């Protein structure tokens, strides 16, 4: 539920709703980008009018200079959809109507390749895990500026809200050379785009980068349609003030406003930043021996609990472990088989 069920249009069309994105080092050493959509739904088809965009900033500034765009056709009798992946660079990467260069094409349910890239699209078990009682309590504390109330929660009875459910996943493994080479620090976010009502352009319906910001801070359609480059100006003060009120209510920071500013700076712009060739991880605070607290996003980490810790500046036992997200595949496309 990093970004699950957050916008009216996304709610009415689950295939447009991005639940999570991930970025990590794959088995080959190449970076792997994941976009999951249609959480908590039984959908087996990607939206045929949607452009699923992997926006990548290779130089800084949270403006894409590389866009990998996945599009899908109507399903055949076997349920397979035509799947095309294109690449756009430079200004075209920031133009949702740009045609791009076709990198690979094939069908859902199979691995497609081209230009050193391999990609997969189809159903998979949802790798995200979260305790519903805990997320409700934390979101309430954040959005009302009141003390966290988990008095009725027993970690020994914790359960994963998404246990036994599927998502539709798009997985792309790309060569480091395309991304600026080993050691380059990039930013990535996913977005879904659909035609405008008058058919003259395209509009963004949803986006996702960091886990849980829209859930914790109560943001909806406008947030999903916004661009990361504008996040600090648009949402920075709001994220700071909401965090400050929550940590003050929980007495978890001696300087609530300063802590709120730190959280806003950590989460905005809402992108995953990652150093090519390194281990991916997502923590509330920097860990020993690691340069960053957040470096991409791996598939195993308890990112919900880390986001709670970051937002409220206090440890929270949600009772969940990586065992709650199924058995991941050791090789491409990495996510667990659908349930």
- Over residues 57-73, the mean pLDDT reads 97
What would the pLDDT profile of 68-101 be if each residue is shown by its tens digit? 999 999 999 999 999 999 999 999 999 999 999 9
- Over residues 308-328, the mean pLDDT reads 90
What would the pLDDT profile of 3-49 be if each residue is shown by its tens digit? 543 443 655 789 999 999 999 999 999 999 999 999 998 889 999 99
What tokens does 215 get?
């859930």
pLDDT given at position 7: 40
pLDDT at 1 over 50: no
321: confidence class by pLDDT, cuts 50, 70, 90: confident
Phi-psi region of 283 (alpha: psi -120 to 50; beta: other; left: phi over 0): beta
pLDDT at 212 over 60: yes
Question: What residues does each domain of the chain span?
Answer: 8-325
- Over residues 206-227, the mean pLDDT reads 94
What tokens does 251 get?
């007495």
Would you say 54 and 35 are in contact if contact means Cβ atoms under 8 Å apart? yes
CA-to-CA separations, 211 to 90, 103, 160, 326, in angstroms, rounded? 27, 29, 16, 19
Would you say 259 and 246 are in contact if contact means Cβ atoms under 8 Å apart? no
Would you say 36 and 59 are in contact if contact means Cβ atoms under 8 Å apart? no
Residue by residue, DSSP assigns 146-186 as -----TT--GGG---TTTT-EEEEEEEE--GGGGTSTT-EE
Cα three-residue angle 169-175-180, rounded to 5 degrees: 115
Looking only at the bridges linking them, the beta strands covering 112-114 and 281-282 are unpaired
Range with lowest mean pLDDT among 85-89, 197-201, 296-300: 197-201
Q: pTM, whole model, 2 decimals?
A: 0.96
What tokens does 8 get?
């009216």
For a pLDDT cut of 90, what percent of the chain falls above it?
91
């Amino acid at each position: 539920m990093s970004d699950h069920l957050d916008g009216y249009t996304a709610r009415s069309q689950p295939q447009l709703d991005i639940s999570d994105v991930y970025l990590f080092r794959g088995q080959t050493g190449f970076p792997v980008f994941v976009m999951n959509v249609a959480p908590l739904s039984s959908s087996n088809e990607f939206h045929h009018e949607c452009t699923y965009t992997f926006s990548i900033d290779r130089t800084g500034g949270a403006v894409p200079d590389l866009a990998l765009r996945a599009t899908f056709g109507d399903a055949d009798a076997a349920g397979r959809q035509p799947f095309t992946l294109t690449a756009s660079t430079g200004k075209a990467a920031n133009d949702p109507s740009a045609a791009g260069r076709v990198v690979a094409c094939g069908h859902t349910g199979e691995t497609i390749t081209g230009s050193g890239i391999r990609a997969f699209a189809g159903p998979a078990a949802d790798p995200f895990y979260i305790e519903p009682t805990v997320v409700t309590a934390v979101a309430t504390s954040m959005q009302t500026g009141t003390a966290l109330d988990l008095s009725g929660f027993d970690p020994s009875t914790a359960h994963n809200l998404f246990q036994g459910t599927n998502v539709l996943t798009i997985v792309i493994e790309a060569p480091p050379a395309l991304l600026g080479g080993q050691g380059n620090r990039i930013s990535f976010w996913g977005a879904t785009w659909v035609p405008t009502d008058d058919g003259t352009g395209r509009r963004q319906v949803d986006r996702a980068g960091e886990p849980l910001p829209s859930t914790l801070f109560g943001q909806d359609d406008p947030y999903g349609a916004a661009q990361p480059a504008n996040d600090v100006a648009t949402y920075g003060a709001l994220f700071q003030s909401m965090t400050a009120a929550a940590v003050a209510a929980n007495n978890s920071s001696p300087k609530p406003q300063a802590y709120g500013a730190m959280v806003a700076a950590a989460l905005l712009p809402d992108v995953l930043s990652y150093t090519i060739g390194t281990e991916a991880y997502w923590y509330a605070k920097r860990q020993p021996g690691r340069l960053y607290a957040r470096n991409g996003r791996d598939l195993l980490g308890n990112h919900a609990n880390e986001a709670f810790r970051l937002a409220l500046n206090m440890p929270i036992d949600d009772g969940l472990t990586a065992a709650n997200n199924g058995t991941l595949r050791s090789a491409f496309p990495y996510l667990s088989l659908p349930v």
